[in-house]
Amino acid sequence: MDIVIIGFGGMGGYHAQNLAAYCKTNPAHPLRVAGVYDIDPARGRAAEQQGLRAYASAEEVFADKSVGAVLIATPNDFHLPYVQAAAAAGKNIICEKPITLTSAMAEQMYDAAEKAGVVFEVHQNRRWDDDFLTVRKIFDTEAVGAVYCIESRVMGGNGIPGDWRKKAAQGGGMMLDWGVHLIDQMLLMIPSPVRSLYCEYSYIYGEEVDDGFNLTVDFENGIKYRIVVATDCFRNLPRWQVYGTEGTATVADWDLSGGMTRVLVKKDASLRGIKAGNGFTRTMAPRADDSVQQLPLPVVHAEPWAFYKNFAAACAGEEPRTIRREEVVRVMRLMEAAARSAHENEVIKEKL
Ligand SMILES: NC(=O)c1ccc[n+]([C@@H]2O[C@H](COP(=O)([O-])OP(=O)(O)OC[C@H]3O[C@@H](n4cnc5c(N)ncnc54)[C@H](O)[C@@H]3O)[C@@H](O)[C@H]2O)c1
């Protein structure tokens, strides 16, 4: 199926390369990038240099009968109008995350796609991150006992990149940019409704949108989940920390470094105190080596090209879409609750 990328910037370019690699290994269901449309003519010329057709307008893409699908990778505020127009033209659609700016707009997009009978998939690609799949395995198999708290963080020191990500009207800010991934992962992993949440935004760089945030979610099943996104940090904390009744797991980074420590002796009678700082402590003394067991992470690798494979199979009517409407809308609703919490400095007690 011929696919045209609308918005040929950082992510559009990444998709063009990835789709070319996907096609080589999946000849049964190719998704051939036939062209691009970008509002910036320089990006169109860059596409032509890569052997791709540069369309003069989005309308020209939608009117082209040879185009089976479009991939929308523009700034977030253009996702809604392009998805509506693409659906009306009968094109199957991949739309970059976040789907759009609000849950109500997301519902409109799904309504448009369902009315037109086209496949509409949101690129929640971090469902297939190896670090997330590894943590999910630790959670599901109770590798450190029953999990009662998870910390999920992404930290960088580069501020908010580019221009449109700094503008509220364009759907900027780190909650929409990264929160959408980390909240999606959380809601996939924890099999429980949310009971309440509290969120703080950071505005270290003085932009009109959040440059990071700190979100604590309290689930009805008792699990606490903390998400931290920072763009002003030069010494990072681990990507994941998982606390269970029998131990603790750390996934330090996307490179899957880290490990698990399982407790063998819960109350160690031989525990000795240590001098720590200007004082003495038994509580915070290190565990004796024989009272704990060090284990490697149960690393999980994602199936290659799982997102594109599913989209292509869904377009062929062979599989349902993996990323469901109710999941995407639930993430949007949770982000809206988090924004209310941050703006009003209040715990939001809402079943989500
Ligand atoms: N899933 C992921 O891992 C991931 C990673 C990065 C970005 N994204 C998403 O991809 C989208 C694009 O982000 P980016 O980092 O590539 O941004 P970018 O600024 O690098 O690229 C955006 C491109 O869209 C073009 N554009 C702007 N308005 C347009 C319009 N009305 N019509 C056509 N083209 C238009 C710009 O000229 C630019 O080339 C965003 O929705 C972002 O959230 C997803």
Q: Give the tens place of pLDDT for each residue, 27-86.
A: 889 999 999 999 999 999 999 999 999 999 999 999 999 999 999 999 999 999 999 999
The class (CATH top level) of 127-301+333-344 is alpha beta
Spatial contact of 203 and 211, defined as CB atoms under 8 Å apart: yes
Domain positions in the chain: 2-123, 127-301+333-344
Give the number of other CB atoms < 10 A from CB of residue 12: 22
Summarize the confidence of residues 275-282 as an average pLDDT.
Answer: 97
CA angle 334, 78, 112 (to 5 degrees): 75
Using pLDDT thresholds of 50, 70 and 90, give the confidence band for residue 335.
Answer: very high
Please state the pTM of the whole predicted model: 0.98
Nearest atom in ligand 1 to 162's CA: 19
Pocket lining: 176 vs ligand 1, CB cutoff 6 Å: no
Pocket lining: 181 vs ligand 1, CB cutoff 6 Å: no
Using pLDDT thresholds of 50, 70 and 90, give the confidence band for residue 298.
Answer: very high
Domains 2-123 and 127-301+333-344 share a fold: no
Regarding the domain with residue range 2-123, which homologous superfamily does it belong to in the CATH classification? Answer: NAD(P)-binding Rossmann-like Domain (3.40.50.720)
Cα–Cα distance for residue pair 319/136, rounded to 1 Å:
24
Using pLDDT thresholds of 50, 70 and 90, give the confidence band for residue 157.
Answer: very high
Cα–Cα distance for residue pair 159/168, rounded to 1 Å:
16
Peptide bond into 98 cis (omega under 30): yes
Cα–Cα distance for residue pair 79/101, rounded to 1 Å:
9
**Ligand 1, atom 5: closest residue by C-alpha:** 11
Pocket lining: 43 vs ligand 1, CB cutoff 6 Å: yes
Using pLDDT thresholds of 50, 70 and 90, give the confidence band for residue 266.
Answer: very high
pLDDT of residue 28: 86
Query: What is the CA(5)–ligand 1 centre distance, in A?
Result: 10
Query: What is the CA(9)–ligand 1 centre distance, in A?
Result: 5
